Chain A
Amino acid sequence: MNTRAWIIIPVLLMSACTQYTLVEPQPQKIGDFYTVAPQIHWSREKQGAIELWTVDGPALQAIRFFSGIEDGESMFPATGADSKLPSYRSGMTAIEVEEFVIDTLARLGGTDVQAANLRPFQFGRTPGFRFEFTFLTREGLEFEGMAAGAEARDRLYLILYTGARSHYFGKHKNDVERIFESIQTSA
């Protein structure tokens, strides 16, 4: 740890440039396209266009809402010189979106990323898709995930739920299923 870091880290962390707020169990607007109805409390953090919900901490389980990924954009903002994350193309089929998500997770360090059970799913009023996936984190911890999404207005709307296979994915899996079922899209 270089000397500069010793002094700066605590100041920045104390000044709360990132903060978690409480999500009440009532309808929540996500971006400008849909609402969901959580049945329990979550802790919410906003990272640009991505909204993250967790109960036990993002390293253990998290829902990520991606609102309106546009043609040519990647799922996550490029960091540093890594500008070659897979990019979304309008009009992608669900098969290609699944590939886009899996390849992105692999590029971000996920090991052995595998998807399964891709199937049609009604995302509110928009025909969309769902699939499950598994991977190892960069540290080698086993994780599971489920995804739901749809294209609307030439943009991709995606919800990813991930959690440690040991206990934490399963802990709120049903709550997330209910969230998926509760999606209501604006006209």
Chain B
Amino acid sequence: MFLRIHLAIVVCFALAACVTTGGSPGAASNIAPGERPEITTDEAGLWMASEDVERQLVSSGRVITDPALNTYVKQIICRLSPEYCEDIRVYIVRTPHFNASMHPNGFMQVWTGLMLRAENEAQLAYVLGHELGHYLRRHGVQQWRTVRGTASAMTFFRMAAAAAGAGYVGDIGYLVAMGALFSYSREFEREADDVGFDMMASAGYEPREATRIWQLLLAEKESSDEPDQFIFFATHPSKEERIDTLETRAKTIPAALSGSDTGTETHRAAIQSYLSEWLRDDLRNRRFAPSEVMLNRMIAARSHVPEFHFYLGELYRLRGDDGDAERAISSYLTALEMTDPPSDVHRSLGLVHWRNGRHAEARTAFENYLRAVPQADDKAMIESYLDQL
């Protein structure tokens, strides 16, 4: 109790500091808990458009409704901000990209690409807190007022639906190109970081995890020469200075007041049953370089999870560069040494062996597959292969 009061005072001071140094000219005051804009305001128009997007998203089939997973995410938000907890509706959207976004009417999205990559609850909390910062400080409506006079403003709502609304991202390229429209100004980003960081720290999370998640994202980004395909960076321009700033902030919080919860085990437990699905979704992007960085990081942290090795093998199988066949086989075999490997490992082994002319090994692998999954959906196909091999 005593510690909490201290933290609350820290937060008040920090937020006060934010308000006075805050954003652009005419920056609004914080949105109040339960506040709704007057119907005559332009903000109301923005809320109406946001509600439209929210309704679409809810019926799109992309939202994960699993109560356990939703409880996990919601409790982070409520821990970060007990006062605003009631106003936030969070949706977990099955899209294999790292992203979280906030509409001005309190509707928040967290994409499964983010849930997959966050190493622990604290990292997730930092991102959610950052988004809450945008909400609290009304950056959405301020951004709209800035761009509304411009020719590209009309696309704002439609882009909002594409980028942050309905969770569908087909062409990331155009979202990146539209970055100018969507990326908040440096001032807004700094404000959101300040607010989010303070929420995170005062909620008892380890503040150093804020820099960690940027570092791991940057590692993925830098792995590839391809034009920027990271939607999160399109809307949250990142420079090294952001990391430096966060590191410095982390150091300034007195050790006695700093939380040290990382919530690694909680996070792993929450997403365990979704690992296969989300890793498979990630490979659909066919972005081999960043996916490889991600999988290797996961293996380094936990080397005995068979899914990590299996999907690394799948990556090599799909990439098909020189030497990838051997790498794939090696990863599959590693997966098979672990407890409860996915049965598809045998089938994939069969495919790679066969493509590389190793008929005997392919035959063995396919037979193992059918033994592991006697009623496999593609049994007829596999049996026809066994006839040929």
Residue ranges of A at the interface with B (Cβ–Cβ < 8 Å):
1-2, 79-82, 84-87, 89, 91, 93-96, 98, 103, 106-109, 111-112, 116-120, 129, 136, 138-140
Contact = CB atoms under 8 A, between A and B. Distances in A.
A149 to B, nearest CB: 13
A164 B330 CA distance: 43
A112 B61 CA distance: 8
B60 A140 contact: yes
B173 A81 contact: yes
A86 B284 contact: yes
A94 to B, nearest CB: 6
A139 B351 CA distance: 35
A24 to B, nearest CB: 35
Contact of A81 (B168, B176, B284, B285): B176
Given A106-B281, A118-B380, 6 more contacts: A2-B151, A80-B174, A107-B284, A112-B94, A116-B377, A119-B381
B61 A140 contact: yes
A103 B284 contact: yes
Interface of B: 56, 59-62, 94, 151, 154, 166, 168, 170-174, 176-177, 227, 229, 281, 283-287, 320, 347, 351, 354-355, 377-378, 380-381, 384-385
Given A95-B378, A111-B61, A118-B381, A80 B284 contact: no
B168 A79 contact: no
A98 B376 CA distance: 15
B173 A82 contact: yes
A81 B380 contact: no
A91 B381 CA distance: 15
Nearest to A127: B384
Contacts of A106: 281, 284
A70 to B, nearest CB: 16
A95 B171 contact: no
A138 B378 contact: no
Contact of B177 (A81, A84, A98): A81
B11 to A, nearest CB: 40
A111 B60 contact: yes
Given A79-B171, A111-B60, A95 B176 contact: no
Given A86-B284, A95-B347, A109-B168, A80 B381 contact: no
Contact of A91 (B174, B176, B355, B380): B355
Contacts of A138: 60, 166, 168
Contacts of B378: 95, 98, 118-119
B286 A120 contact: no
Contacts of A103: 283-284, 286
B286 A140 contact: no
B354 A93 contact: yes
Contacts of B380: 118-120
A117 B377 contact: yes
B31 to A, nearest CB: 30
A78 B168 CA distance: 17
Which 9 pairs from chain A and chain B are nearest by CB? A81-B173, A82-B171, A119-B380, A140-B60, A136-B61, A118-B378, A111-B61, A140-B61, A103-B284
A96 B351 contact: yes
A82 B287 CA distance: 12
Contacts of A119: 378, 380-381
Nearest to B381: A118
A108 B59 contact: no
A139 B161 CA distance: 12
A85 B318 CA distance: 12
A139 B60 contact: yes
Nearest to B57: A140
